[in-house]
């Protein structure tokens, strides 16, 4: 009923669009916008009459028309991302038209581009003291093989790093902006959609979206560290652009919860006078390869296994000690060729005072593992309405439905990865070469893990300008997500599972996540006390965010049949509910910006935050901000001094952000504690956590400085940025004496961490001719992370440790200092030492685009790399030491004497103390450096005559590949793996996890 009602409103709005158009009158302006070099048309360029809200958008052939223009002389401006703007003067005749054509020059700098994220007052890039990075998703989707928001973000912006959890279809990723700075709170950025806070939680089939489990436990519910990403539910085809706030620019508008950065997703919306109704249809097919050859398992035949009566076919009849090998994953054809089939439609149009955009998306992806698929459905309708010169209204409504089935994987007893540590000596027996009796391919695939999500995202924004110097913007919206998960372990008469599951078990969980946003921003723009050429922008506003999370579950044990798997049909039933998690925040903000000659800008800002997560003694959180931007190249002297440097801007910003404590962290809490009186059991309470009424948010203070350069008429551009961020008041748990009587230790504000580094973005339009064009993008970033102080809390952690003087959660262990072959030993340090970084200290990407034959053929490719970090190869460690199924563990001649001592010992410290093999992890903390050929694509513009009967006016075909090759010395399948994304953000570990897949993509795009 809800779906029909929403569809009905959308159809009614579309039908009423002509009724709201203003009457036509006056003259009109028509023309065409083309690339100055290639003379190719520029679609989606904005053409506007300066000083008014009248304008139009160019069509696919670069044409535009602005009707009902009052007669007289006007100034017309054309602009498009990637090009320098141009203006012309025209005289509009009464009841007639005038032609105004533009030839725009490509530019690598975008100082005139408007950004909406992290800004107030003057929103052009030239006025911003800190970098707000942008990705033009509309252009990117035409050339790169992107299926998700994660693909859009991957290696596009310096300082923004992504890492997928596995190659399983539908699983999530981690996103880090300028490293990590918190131990107890999330290091994931905030997500906004059209100005409305959106949830970006990772959903698993466990008890809560963040992976935390309720009392009573849920063995295996975390799927071995896998989760589904709510962020990736959004269809890239409905996104216009993405803006990323990385540093102090977030301070004023996003406040005490923006320390990890902000990602704003801006969806497409119709434009005024867009030249009629236009439609686009995308049909896509992906072939998905597992991109992985698992290693064989080895074993040495025993006397019993070589006997004629032996059930083991590989050992039977062989000599004792014969080394055999078997690969259950390959022998049983576990991996398959997956595929994705998708269809996306979008339509947009508009009249003189309105515009609209609508889209629909359907896709089904079949993963490379059994019992793995993802079904997605998306719909969106956006409406842009300008009833008068003073009022602009934008409204949008997005609907998302997803259904995902994930197999058990990674560090999970029921996962396919368990086959990597199984023994070939069990062939012919109950295990038959697998990791568990009768737990073969079919038994693992029969486990049903499903996650279903329904998501509605309504947004509305009203901009009101009662007078030319006073503007108001009110944003309202919500992100309403309803998730349900099912975990079914079927009955097994053979006993393939643990005893608790062999009679059949079912676990169901329901989550309700509701995020609400109210945001008001006002701006007064006036001359500064009549001082010549100085303009003042005073901005002020309030932001209110409300978040609710409810979780309820039910478990059933003992199923009569596998087909009747409702919890109510189980022999034993239980259930529960987590306390509703509520968080409320309100922020009051103000900013004053002074501009001199539109080239020198000074910003002073502040925000006052209140949050329900603060302790009761902490009333507000103050966040100041100051910034400077100076476009030196606008000075009259510049062209004479440095003619080859066409643009130069210097900028600096200093600001404060924060990260609010999780709801309830400051509160004193109690746990249910029943007690017995006589024969009766009565409800009682036990002390759980003493709380902390003085608990404050973590505070991030950051300096960012840099410069933007444009060379040779902006055909080559560079953005160079240095940042230094110090996070204080880190939330850590201070241990309590057991005599205090509490089960948990309270959080206190005590730690201090620093992140600093350089970011460089290079853009070059090397060629721009009629027959060939060539563009290059290079992104580089460095990162240094260091714990500065832990207060009175002693360093903690083992293999990954938190201690002053080294990076957060760095790898520690006994370091091998000498391989003593003569004495058959490996000598290690007396104490545990720092062994390497968790995060890369250098990342980069190189992308290039080539246009041939009047841009009818477009070639695109991207390489990216990460260096200076380590990966814990637990898969190899378990195969070598715990399960002894690697060739090195079975064959004493497989390694050199030096390497055998390195991996297997015996180990002694410098002072002569013997250590057990399991105590030395140094050999398995391995370099993760890599270079990856991430994407390659070729797009060909097809003759429209092939599709004329279907009514198409344009057509293109794209053939692409993703994750095509990896260069690395890492001995595992892929160093870019996050084995446990659910319960920790610091698990740089490869543990029975299958790597990211390889895709081959074919996409047909038709325009109507």
Pair (536, 593) in one structural domain: yes
Alpha-carbon distance 650 to 653, whole Å? 11
Class of residue 15 by CB neighbours under 10 A (exposed 0-12, middle 13-18, buried 19+): exposed
Please, how many CA atoms are within 13 Å of residue 632, restricted to the half-sphere of its CB? 15
Once rounded to an integer, what is the mean pLDDT over residues 179-188?
89
Q: pLDDT tens-digit profile of 899-925?
A: 999 999 999 999 999 999 999 999 999
Which of 534, 618, 700 minimizes the C-alpha distance to 177?
Answer: 700
Alpha-carbon distance 522 to 538, whole Å? 8
Domain that includes residue 985, residue range: 132-292+335-408+447-783+839-869+928-1007
Alpha-carbon distance 357 to 355, whole Å? 7
Token pair, residue 84, equals 């320098």
Rounded to 5°, angle at Cα 993 from 988 and 996: 90
Q: Is the pLDDT of residue 20 over 50?
A: no
Q: Is 356 part of any domain?
A: yes
Alpha-carbon distance 576 to 553, whole Å? 6
Look at residue 8 in the predicted model and tell me its pLDDT: 43
CB atoms within 10 A of CB 912: 8
Q: Is 888 part of any domain?
A: no
State the CATH number of the domain containing residue 45.
2.60.40.1120
Q: pLDDT tens-digit profile of 269-303?
A: 877 777 678 899 999 999 999 999 999 999 999 99
Pair (211, 285) in one structural domain: yes
What DSSP string describes 265-303? EEE----TT-SS-EEEEEEEEEEEE----PPPEEEE--H
Q: pLDDT tens-digit profile of 793-827?
A: 999 999 999 999 999 999 999 999 999 999 999 99
Pair (90, 177) in one structural domain: no
Pair (70, 163) in one structural domain: no
Q: Hey, which of 17-26, 44-53, 727-736 has the most confident mean pLDDT? A: 727-736
Pair (101, 212) in one structural domain: no
Pair (858, 967) in one structural domain: yes
The residue ranking higher by pLDDT, 934 or 987, is 934
Overall number of domains in the chain: 2
Q: Hey, which of 96-100, 366-370, 573-577, 982-986 has the most confident mean pLDDT? A: 366-370
Pair (86, 212) in one structural domain: no
- The separation between CA 30 and the C-alpha centre of its own chain, rounded to angstroms, equals 42
Q: Is 440 part of any domain?
A: no
Distances (CA, A) of 386 to 65, 113, 393, 394, 463: 18, 22, 6, 9, 10
Once rounded to an integer, what is the mean pLDDT over residues 765-789?
93
Q: pLDDT tens-digit profile of 832-868?
A: 999 999 999 999 999 999 999 888 999 999 999 999 9
User: 546, 584 in Cβ contact below 8 A?
Assistant: yes
Pair (186, 99) in one structural domain: no
User: 99, 66 in Cβ contact below 8 A?
Assistant: no
Q: Is 878 part of any domain?
A: no
User: 108, 606 in Cβ contact below 8 A?
Assistant: no
Q: Is 832 part of any domain?
A: no
Q: Is 210 part of any domain?
A: yes
Pair (96, 213) in one structural domain: no
Rounded to 5°, angle at Cα 715 from 712 and 717: 95
Alpha-carbon distance 156 to 953, whole Å? 31
Distances (CA, A) of 916 to 79, 826, 878: 68, 12, 15
Alpha-carbon distance 570 to 579, whole Å? 26
Once rounded to an integer, what is the mean pLDDT over residues 473-493?
93
Once rounded to an integer, what is the mean pLDDT over residues 119-133?
86
Q: Is the pLDDT of residue 219 over 60?
A: no
Q: Is 468 part of any domain?
A: yes
Once rounded to an integer, what is the mean pLDDT over residues 39-68?
83
Q: Is 322 part of any domain?
A: no
User: 842, 957 in Cβ contact below 8 A?
Assistant: no
Which of 186, 178, 70 minimizes the C-alpha distance to 133?
Answer: 178
Q: What share of the chain is helix, strand, coil (3-state, %, to 5)?
A: 10, 50, 40
Pair (660, 702) in one structural domain: yes
Alpha-carbon distance 29 to 31, whole Å? 7
Alpha-carbon distance 241 to 244, whole Å? 10
The residue out of 106, 140, 157 marking a domain boundary is 106
Pair (96, 212) in one structural domain: no
Alpha-carbon distance 314 to 427, whole Å? 8
Alpha-carbon distance 98 to 418, whole Å? 73
Look at residue 3 in the predicted model and tell me its pLDDT: 42
Look at residue 754 in the predicted model and tell me its pLDDT: 96
Look at residue 979 in the predicted model and tell me its pLDDT: 66
Look at residue 903 in the predicted model and tell me its pLDDT: 97
Once rounded to an integer, what is the mean pLDDT over residues 610-635?
92
The residue out of 56, 88, 106 marking a domain boundary is 106
Q: Is the pLDDT of residue 28 over 60?
A: yes
Look at residue 678 in the predicted model and tell me its pLDDT: 78
Residue appearing with tokens 């903390």: 925
Look at residue 214 in the predicted model and tell me its pLDDT: 34
Strands (E) located in 822-878? 825-836, 842-852, 857-867, 870-873
The residue ranking higher by pLDDT, 736 or 200, is 736
State the CATH number of the domain containing residue 651.
2.40.170.20
User: 357, 240 in Cβ contact below 8 A?
Assistant: no
Look at residue 843 in the predicted model and tell me its pLDDT: 97
Percentage of the chain exceeding pLDDT 90: 61
Distances (CA, A) of 322 to 303, 386, 460: 10, 82, 72
The residue ranking higher by pLDDT, 474 or 44, is 474
Q: Provide the β-strand partners of residue 78.
A: 47, 86
Percentage of the chain exceeding pLDDT 70: 94
User: 586, 544 in Cβ contact below 8 A?
Assistant: yes
pTM greater than 0.85: yes
Pair (102, 144) in one structural domain: no
Look at residue 984 in the predicted model and tell me its pLDDT: 61
Class of residue 997 by CB neighbours under 10 A (exposed 0-12, middle 13-18, buried 19+): buried
User: 774, 848 in Cβ contact below 8 A?
Assistant: yes
Alpha-carbon distance 388 to 598, whole Å? 28
Q: Is the pLDDT of residue 21 over 70?
A: no
> For residue 742, what are the contacts with CB-CB under 8 A and spacing of at least 6?
687, 688, 689, 690, 736
457's torsion region: left (phi>0), alpha (psi -120 to 50) or beta? Answer: beta
Which of 931, 972, 985 minimizes the C-alpha distance to 155?
Answer: 931
The residue out of 106, 141, 166 marking a domain boundary is 106
Q: Dmax over Cα atoms in the chain, in whole Å? A: 104
Look at residue 217 in the predicted model and tell me its pLDDT: 34
Q: pLDDT tens-digit profile of 681-719?
A: 778 888 888 999 999 999 999 999 999 999 988 889 999
User: 418, 435 in Cβ contact below 8 A?
Assistant: yes
Token pair, residue 469, equals 């110097």
Token pair, residue 715, equals 């055909």
């Amino acid at each position: 009923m809800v779906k029909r009602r929403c569809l009905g409103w959308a159809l009614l709005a579309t039908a009423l669009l002509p009724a709201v158009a203003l009457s036509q009158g006056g003259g009109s302006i028509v023309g065409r916008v083309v690339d100055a070099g290639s003379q190719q048309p520029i679609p989606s360029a904005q053409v506007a009459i300066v000083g008014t809200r009248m304008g139009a958008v160019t069509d696919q052939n670069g044409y535009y028309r602005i009707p009902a223009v009052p007669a007289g002389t006007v100034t017309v401006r054309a602009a498009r991302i990637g090009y320098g703007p141009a203006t012309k003067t025209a005289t509009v005749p009464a009841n007639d038209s005038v032609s105004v054509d533009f030839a725009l020059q490509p530019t690598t700098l975008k100082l005139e581009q408007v950004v909406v994220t992290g800004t107030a007052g003057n929103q052009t890039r030239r006025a911003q003291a800190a970098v707000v990075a942008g990705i033009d998703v509309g252009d990117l989707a035409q050339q790169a093989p992107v299926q998700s928001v994660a693909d859009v973000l991957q290696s596009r912006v310096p300082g923004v790093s992504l890492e997928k959890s596995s190659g399983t279809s539908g699983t999530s990723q981690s996103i880090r902006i300028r490293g990590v700075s918190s131990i107890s709170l999330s290091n994931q950025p905030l997500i906004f959609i059209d100005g409305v806070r959106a949830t970006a939680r990772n959903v698993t089939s466990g008890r809560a979206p963040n992976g935390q489990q309720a009392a009573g436990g849920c063995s295996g519910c975390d799927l071995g560290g896998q989760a589904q990403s709510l962020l990736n539910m959004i269809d890239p085809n409905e996104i216009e652009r993405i803006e990323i706030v990385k540093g102090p620019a977030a301070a004023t508008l996003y406040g005490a919860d923006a320390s990890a950065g902000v990602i704003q997703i801006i969806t497409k919306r119709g434009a005024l006078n867009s030249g009629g109704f236009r439609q686009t249809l995308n049909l896509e097919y992906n072939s998905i390869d597992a991109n992985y050859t698992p290693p064989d398992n080895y074993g040495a035949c025993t006397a019993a296994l070589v006997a004629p009566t032996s059930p083991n076919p590989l050992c039977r009849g062989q000599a004792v000690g014969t080394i055999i090998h078997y690969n259950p994953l390959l022998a049983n054809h576990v991996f398959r060729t997956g595929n994705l089939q998708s269809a996306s439609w979008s339509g947009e149009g508009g009249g003189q005072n309105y515009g609209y955009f609508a889209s629909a998306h359907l896709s089904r992806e079949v993963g490379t593992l059994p019992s793995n698929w993802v079904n997605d459905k998306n719909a969106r309708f956006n409406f842009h309405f300008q009833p008068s010169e003073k009022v602009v209204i934008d409204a949008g409504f997005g609907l998302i439905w997803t259904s995902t089935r994930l197999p058990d994987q990674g560090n999970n007893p029921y996962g396919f990865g368990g086959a990597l540590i199984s023994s070939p000596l069990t062939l012919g027996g109950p295990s038959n070469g697998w990791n568990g009796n009768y737990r073969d391919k079919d038994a693992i695939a029969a486990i049903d893990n499903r996650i279903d999500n329904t998501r509605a995202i309504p947004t509305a924004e009203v901009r009101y300008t009662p007078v030319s110097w006073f503007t108001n913007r009110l944003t309202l919206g919500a992100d309403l997500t309803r998730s349900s998960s099912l975990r079914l372990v079927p009955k097994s008469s053979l006993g393939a599972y643990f005893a608790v599951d062999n009679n059949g078990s079912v676990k169901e969980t329901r989550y309700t996540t509701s995020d609400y946003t109210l945001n008001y921003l006002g701006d007064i723009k006036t001359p500064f006390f009549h001082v010549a050429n100085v303009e003042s922008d005073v901005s002020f506003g309030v932001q209110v965010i409300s978040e609710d999370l409810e979780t309820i579950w039910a478990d059933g044990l003992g199923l009569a049949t596998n087909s009747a798997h409702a919890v109510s049909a189980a022999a034993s039933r239980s259930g529960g509910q987590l306390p509703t998690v509520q968080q409320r925040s309100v922020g009051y903000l103000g900013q004053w910006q002074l501009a001199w000659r539109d080239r020198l800008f000074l910003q002073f800002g502040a925000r006052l935050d209140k949050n329900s997560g603060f302790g009761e003694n902490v009333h507000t959180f103050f966040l100041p901000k100051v910034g400077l931007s100076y476009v030196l190249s606008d000075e009259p002297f510049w062209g004479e001094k440095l003619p080859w440097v066409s643009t130069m801007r210097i900028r600096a910003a200093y600001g404060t952000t924060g990260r609010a404590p999780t709801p309830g962290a400051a509160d004193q809490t109690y746990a249910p504690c029943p007690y017995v009186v006589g024969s009766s059991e009565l409800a009682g309470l036990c002390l759980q956590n003493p709380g902390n009424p003085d608990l404050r948010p973590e505070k991030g203070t950051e300096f960012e400085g840099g410069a933007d350069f444009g060379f040779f008429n902006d055909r080559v551009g560079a953005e160079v940025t240095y940042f230094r961020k110090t996070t204080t008041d880190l939330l850590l748990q201070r241990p309590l004496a057991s005599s205090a009587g509490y089960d948990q230790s309270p959080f206190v504000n005590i730690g201090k961490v620093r992140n600093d580094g350089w970011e460089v973005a290079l853009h070059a339009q090397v060629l721009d001719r009629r027959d060939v064009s060539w563009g290059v993008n290079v992104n580089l970033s460095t990162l240094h992370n260091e714990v500065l102080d832990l207060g009175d809390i002693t360093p903690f952690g083992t293999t990954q440790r938190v201690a002053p003087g080294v990076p957060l959660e760095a790898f520690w262990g006994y370091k091998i200092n000498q391989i003593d072959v003569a004495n058959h030993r490996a000598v290690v340090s007396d104490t545990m030492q720092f062994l390497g970084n968790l995060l890369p200290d250098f990342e980069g990407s190189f992308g290039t685009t080539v246009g041939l034959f009047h841009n009818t053929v477009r070639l695109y490719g991207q390489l990216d790399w990460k260096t200076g970090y380590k990966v814990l190869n637990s898969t190899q460690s378990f195969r070598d030491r715990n399960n002894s199924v690697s060739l090195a563990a079975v064959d004493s001649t497989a390694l050199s004497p030096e390497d055998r001592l390195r991996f297997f010992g015996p180990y002694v410290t410098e002072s002569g103390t013997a250590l057990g093999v399991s105590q030395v992890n140094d050999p398995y903390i391995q370099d993760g450096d890599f270079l990856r050929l991430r994407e390659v694509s070729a797009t060909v513009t097809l003759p429209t005559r092939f599709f004329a009967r279907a009514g198409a006016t344009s057509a293109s075909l794209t053939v692409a590949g993703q994750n095509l090759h990896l260069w690395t010395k890492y001995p595992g399948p892929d160093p870019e793996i996050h084995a446990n994304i659910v319960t920790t953000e610091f698990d740089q570990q490869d543990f029975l996890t299958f790597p990211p897949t390889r895709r081959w993509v074919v996409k047909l795009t038709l325009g109507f």
